[in-house]
């Protein structure tokens, strides 16, 4: 039982079939966490007591003949920007202090409803701003494939938790690549759903028009299982929606892609990527070709050229607004001061880290009168063009195959004095957020160095299940993501 972490699907049927207990599974997960956390720092809060209680509840449910749900006894980790009732939710920031939300995020409710057991809250770049998971009040996260390297960000803790085998499934959030980039860096699958496909209720907002919650997993089957649980409209999130009820699990089982067209992005062909990542694209294309897909040439020129500046106007603008509420008056950190304005200034000065301050300042600037049209209005126009460009691309392709990242994971401390360098690493992921599309990083293998390769699949809006199908085909060819041993056991 303790030897090898199991897939979610395996755990759920074992627990439901009383082949093993949820308490055993969760205990094993907690042991792995205890053993590796000193090295990885992937979790901000380990919820051992609550998790064991919850597992015992599921065992009782099974014993009394109840339906424990499709994720019965499956230990999961959720990013620490997802609210958990009564459990501290920090966003990796000093600002929230030990704030304990009075409510659960919608996805937390849905996971628990499905029988999953939350064992921990994962470390992250403060308020999800960053691509390395180094910008956390709780210290940097290490990459389980190579602890001298970053796991990517901002959902680095969730990606690392799955790669290290703490849990088969973790949730992250993706605003400009915060699921897909750490998935690529940690060698796991990571899916950012269509904007609006998964409820944001209880996700502490970074940039509301871009944020989406999505899963990490080591197998496509587990990814599908999780999507079946969290996908769908939530009346508490007015931007959420749904188009039918796709059956993700079925798509993973019977991935028929024959006769479809895979778009290969012209601009990403040569010179942009580290060689093994470029090869991963080629190999994936070959595999899809073998499964009956035709390759199509598509262009994302505008996304490549203007996506980055557009994103770095819209996302800080929304962030500056979303983060304005942290004034020390109601919750979180409060610096004592004789009046409201001094309290506001002192609290925000002490509570936010440099990267967050940088984005708040940028955002306030681009929204201020006199600059608004030059920056914000222009960015909105560019965003429309990027959407249109993807729409055009999807007239000649059913899915787009492109890189998620251009390099292997960075060494820690690489971007300490180069924030723009870090921003640039989001080049392949953020256009997908700007267009509101579903995108998935699919693990394609480990190099001899132990570092992972991957590809990114992008589908039209509301075609999230298409990602699962193509990913299943690729997974068949390249194998599923193995648990990182990190050389220590």
Choose the binding region for another protein from 62-70, 100-108, 413-421, 452-460 (rule: CB under 8 A).
100-108
The tokens of 450 are what?
């132990």
Spacing of C-alpha 489 from chain mean position = 27
Choose, from 21, 27, 29, 79, the residue flagged as catalytic.
Answer: 79
Taking CB under 8 A as the rule, does residue 103 contact another protein? yes
Binding to another protein in span 339-358, by CB under 8 A:
340-341, 344
User: Which of 290, 291, 297 shows the shortest CA–CA distance to 258?
Assistant: 291
Q: Which residues contact 170 (CB under 8 A, 6 or more apart)?
A: 76, 77, 78, 79, 122, 155, 158, 159, 161, 162, 215, 216, 217
Shortest Cβ 196–another protein spacing (Å):
9
Q: Which is nearer to another protein, 99 or 423 (CB)?
A: 99
- Give the residue, chosen from 202, 353, 452, 460, that forms a contact with another protein under the rule CB under 8 A: 202
Orientation angle between helical segments 220-230 and 464-478, nearest 10 degrees = 160
Taking CB under 8 A as the rule, does residue 324 contact another protein? yes
User: Which of 458, 340, 347 shows the shortest CA–CA distance to 393?
Assistant: 458
- Give the residue, chosen from 368, 395, 396, 485, that forms a contact with another protein under the rule CB under 8 A: 368
Binding to another protein in span 104-133, by CB under 8 A:
105
Is 256 an active-site residue?
no
- Give the residue, chosen from 283, 302, 318, 426, that forms a contact with another protein under the rule CB under 8 A: 318
Taking CB under 8 A as the rule, does residue 212 contact another protein? no
Taking CB under 8 A as the rule, does residue 327 contact another protein? yes
Q: Which is nearer to another protein, 275 or 369 (CB)?
A: 369
Taking CB under 8 A as the rule, does residue 311 contact another protein? no
Binding to another protein in span 219-278, by CB under 8 A:
235-239
Choose, from 122, 136, 154, 454, the residue flagged as catalytic.
Answer: 154
Q: Which one-letter DSSP state was computed for residue 3? A: S
Taking CB under 8 A as the rule, does residue 205 contact another protein? yes
Residue 427 region by backbone torsions, left for phi larger than 0, else alpha for psi between -120 and 50, else beta: alpha
Residue-wise DSSP of 8-24? HHHHHHHHHTTSS-HHH
Cα–Cα distances (Å) from 177 to 288, 433, 449, 477, in that order, read 24, 8, 24, 25
Taking CB under 8 A as the rule, does residue 329 contact another protein? yes
Binding to another protein in span 39-98, by CB under 8 A:
81-83, 89, 91, 96
Shortest Cβ 371–another protein spacing (Å):
10
Buried b / exposed e across 77-95, counting CB within 10 Å, b at 16+?
A: bbbbbbbbeebbbbbbbbb
Q: Which is nearer to another protein, 299 or 321 (CB)?
A: 321
- Give the residue, chosen from 48, 299, 358, 364, that forms a contact with another protein under the rule CB under 8 A: 364
Is 407 an active-site residue?
no
Is 148 an active-site residue?
no
Q: Are 441 and 172 in contact (CB under 8 A)?
A: no
Shortest Cβ 445–another protein spacing (Å):
37
User: Which of 445, 446, 473 shows the shortest CA–CA distance to 457?
Assistant: 473
Taking CB under 8 A as the rule, does residue 367 contact another protein? yes
Tokens 């409803």 sit on residue: 113
The tokens of 87 are what?
């459990």
- Give the residue, chosen from 201, 216, 312, 394, that forms a contact with another protein under the rule CB under 8 A: 201
CA distance 282 to 471: 15
Choose, from 131, 173, 178, 291, the residue flagged as catalytic.
Answer: 178
The tokens of 366 are what?
């681009």
Q: Which residues contact 210 (CB under 8 A, 6 or more apart)?
A: 175, 176, 195, 311, 314, 315, 318, 433, 434
- Give the residue, chosen from 37, 52, 247, 331, that forms a contact with another protein under the rule CB under 8 A: 331
Shortest Cβ 102–another protein spacing (Å):
7
For another protein, what does the binding mask look like between residues 376 and 395, x meaning CB under 8 A? x-------------------
User: Which of 128, 20, 124, 38 shows the shortest CA–CA distance to 75?
Assistant: 20
The contact set with another protein (CB under 8 A) reads 81-83, 89, 91, 96, 99, 101-103, 105, 200-205, 207-209, 235-239, 317-318, 320-321, 324-325, 327, 329-331, 340-341, 344, 364, 367-369, 372, 376
Catalytic residues: 79, 154, 178
């Amino acid at each position: 039982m303790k030897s090898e972490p199991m897939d979610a699907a395996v755990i759920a049927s074992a627990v439901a079939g009383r082949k093993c207990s949820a308490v055993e599974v969760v205990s094993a997960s907690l042991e792995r966490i205890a053993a590796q956390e000193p090295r990885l720092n992937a979790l901000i809060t380990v919820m051992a007591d609550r998790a064991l209680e919850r597992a015992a509840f599921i065992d009782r449910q099974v014993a009394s003949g109840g339906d424990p749900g499709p994720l019965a006894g499956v230990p999961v980790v959720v990013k620490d920007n997802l609210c958990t009732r009564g459990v501290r939710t920090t966003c990796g920031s000093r600002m929230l202090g030990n704030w304990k939300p009075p409510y659960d995020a919608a996805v937390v409710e849905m996971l628990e409803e499905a029988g999953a057991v939350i064992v921990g809250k994962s470390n992250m770049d403060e308020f999800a701003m960053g691509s390395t998971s180094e910008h956390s009040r709780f210290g940097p996260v290490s990459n389980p494939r190579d602890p001298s390297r970053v796991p990517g960000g901002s959902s680095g803790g969730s990606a690392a938790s799955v790669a290290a085998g703490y849990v088969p499934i973790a949730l992250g959030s993706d605003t400009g690549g915060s699921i897909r980039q750490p998935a690529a860096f940690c060698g796991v699958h990571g899916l950012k759903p269509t904007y609006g496909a998964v409820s944001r209720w209880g996700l502490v907002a970074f940039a509301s028009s871009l944020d989406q919650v999505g899963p990490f997993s080591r197998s496509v089957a587990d990814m599908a299982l999780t999507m079946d649980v969290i996908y769908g409209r939530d009346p508490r999130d007015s931007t959420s929606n749904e188009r039918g009820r796709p059956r993700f699990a079925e798509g993973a089982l019977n991935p028929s892609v024959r006769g479809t067209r895979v778009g290969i992005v012209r601009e990403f062909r040569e010179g942009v990527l580290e060689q093994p990542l470029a090869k991963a694209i080629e190999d994936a294309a070959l595999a899809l070709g073998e499964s009956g897909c035709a390759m199509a040439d598509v262009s994302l020129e505008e996304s490549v050229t203007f996506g980055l500046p557009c994103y770095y106007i819209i996302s800080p603008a929304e962030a500056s607004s979303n983060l304005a509420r942290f004034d020390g008056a109601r919750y979180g950190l409060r610096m004592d001061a004789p009046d409201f304005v001094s309290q506001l200034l002192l609290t925000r000065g002490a509570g936010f880290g440099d990267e967050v301050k940088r984005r708040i300042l940028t955002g306030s600037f681009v929204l201020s009168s006199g600059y608004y049209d030059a920056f914000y209005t222009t960015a909105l126009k560019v965003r429309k063009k990027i959407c249109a460009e993807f729409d055009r691309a999807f007239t000649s392709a059913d899915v787009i195959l492109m890189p998620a990242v251009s390099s292997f994971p960075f060494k820690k401390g690489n971007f300490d004095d180069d924030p723009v360098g870090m921003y640039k690493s989001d080049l392949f992921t953020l256009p997908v957020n700007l267009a509101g599309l579903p995108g998935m990083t699919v693990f394609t293998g480990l190099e001899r160095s132990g570092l992972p390769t991957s590809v990114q699949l992008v589908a039209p809006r509301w075609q999230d299940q298409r990602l699962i199908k193509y990913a299943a085909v690729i997974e068949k060819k390249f194998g599923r993501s193995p648990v990182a041993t990190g050389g220590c056991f």
